[in-house]
Amino acid sequence: MKSFRRNKRVASKKQFPEGTINLSQSINTFGIGSMLEVQSQKRKQTRTTSAIVSGLDFWRADNLENIPEPDLCRLLNVEELKSPPSGESADYIPAKRFPRWLECSSCHYLGVIGSQFNEEVDGIPSCSSSACNGWGVPTRLISVCYSPNHSEGHSTSDYHIDDFPWVYWAHKNHEKCSSARIRLKSDGKKTGLDGLVLKCDCGAENTLRGALAADALKNIPCRGNSPWLNAQQSCDKKTRALLRGASNVYFPVTASTISIPPNSSRLVQTLQSLKYKEITAMYLNGKFSSGTVAEMLHDKIAFSSFEKRNNC
Ligand SMILES: [Zn+2]
Ligand SMILES: [Zn+2]
Ligand SMILES: [Zn+2]
């Protein structure tokens, strides 16, 4: 078994907010495609950034430790296994801001960077409303696609995640305006989503009550958004809203194995006793299977005696 080392850092960019997670979390709770929150301090106030862990295409794989498990590679049909970065000098695990839609901490207008918010070098977006000193807080709802009938046979890579359709929801009972500016207001009576009202400057408004119902977004088709890959694909599934921090947003796909250290295998012991150090190292690093090692040895020793000594 591999031991888990602690203190891996997570950040979207070098100057952006960063946090630490341990190796077990980076494989399970905060694996690729999961969302995590990073807290940072600015003017003695805690600010939250929400990000989604990027796919392996964005990792610096050259710096990752190789895990020599040739049998597990064959089982999973992959060429090699890598460990997430670990240790004090570990590289960053790349992540991307998600959800894109933010709420101003002060005036409570909603929007994205480039319109309602300005990007700042420390990664805490500032509100662009005049005379507002607020900053962008991740919105609490997101949308996902789903299959009401799980027997349809979709693989986990067939599902997508996106921002909640804030402009659509604000205008659900009104005609959509051409330049929506929306903000969240409390109705001063109820708590939670039921007590929040989305208001557009055009006069349209709608409460968030019912937004989490399974059919609330039945008219919103999935855009096939995979922000952890910066990709979009066609998708015909239904969408629904979830709370950003809900436990049913992300399910890791894991495989586990019991690994017997290769140093104790009879093949390795025989190779070592025969002083084939180079071949032994290659085998331990997962470069060769026992079959290819046997082929290499064929020219060097009598194969029949090798078989007799290595019944494995
Ligand atoms: Zn503001
Ligand atoms: Zn409007
Ligand atoms: Zn989809």
Residues 49-106: pLDDT tens digits? 999 999 988 988 777 888 877 778 888 888 888 888 887 777 788 899 999 999 999 9
- 184 CA → ligand 1 middle, Å: 11
* Region 269-290 average pLDDT: 67
Q: Buried b / exposed e across 27-57, counting CB within 10 Å, b at 16+?
A: beebbbbbbbebebeeeeeebebbbbbbbee
Distance between CA atoms of residues 207 and 197, nearest Å: 4
Which residue type occupies 124?
I
Distance between CA atoms of residues 312 and 301, nearest Å: 17
| Largest Cα–Cα separation, the chain | 88
**CA contacts within 13 A on the Cβ side of 12:** 21
- Is 243 exposed, middle or buried (CB count within 10 Å of its CB: 0-12, 13-18, 19+)? middle
- 133 CA → ligand 1 middle, Å: 6
Q: Which residue has the tokens 């250290």?
A: 261
**CA contacts within 13 A on the Cβ side of 186:** 6
- 53 CA → ligand 3 middle, Å: 18
* Region 274-302 average pLDDT: 66
Q: Identify residues whose C-beta is under 5 A from ligand 2, the ion.
A: 177, 180, 200, 202, 204
Rounded to the nearest angstrom, the gap between the alpha carbon of residue 102 and the centroid of all alpha carbons in its chain is 19
Tokens of residue 220, six digits: 């919103």
- 107 CA → ligand 3 middle, Å: 33
Q: Which residue has the tokens 């180079």?
A: 278
Distance of CA 127 to CAs 43, 100, 110, 113, 164, Å?
A: 16, 14, 10, 9, 20
Tokens of residue 59, six digits: 């990792």
- 219 CA → ligand 2 middle, Å: 19
Relative to beta strand 110-111, strand 102-104 is antiparallel
Backbone angles phi, psi at 101, to 5 degrees: -75, 130
- 244 CA → ligand 3 middle, Å: 17
Q: What is the pLDDT of residues 108-129, one digit of tens each?
A: 999 999 999 999 888 889 999 9
Query: Among 11-20, 249-258, 301-310, which is the least confidently predicted range?
Result: 301-310
Query: Among 83-97, 225-239, 269-283, 291-305, which is the least confidently predicted range?
Result: 291-305
Task: Point out the ligand nearest to the CA of residue 125.
Answer: 1
Task: Write down the pTM of the prediction.
Answer: 0.77
Q: Buried b / exposed e across 256-293, counting CB within 10 Å, b at 16+?
A: eeeeeebeebebbebbeeeebeebbebbbebebebeeb
- Per DSSP, the three-state class of 166 is helix
Task: Point out the ligand nearest to the CA of residue 128.
Answer: 1
pLDDT confidence bin for 269, thresholds 50/70/90:
low
Backbone angles phi, psi at 66, to 5 degrees: -80, 140
pLDDT at 143: 97
- Per DSSP, the three-state class of 25 is helix
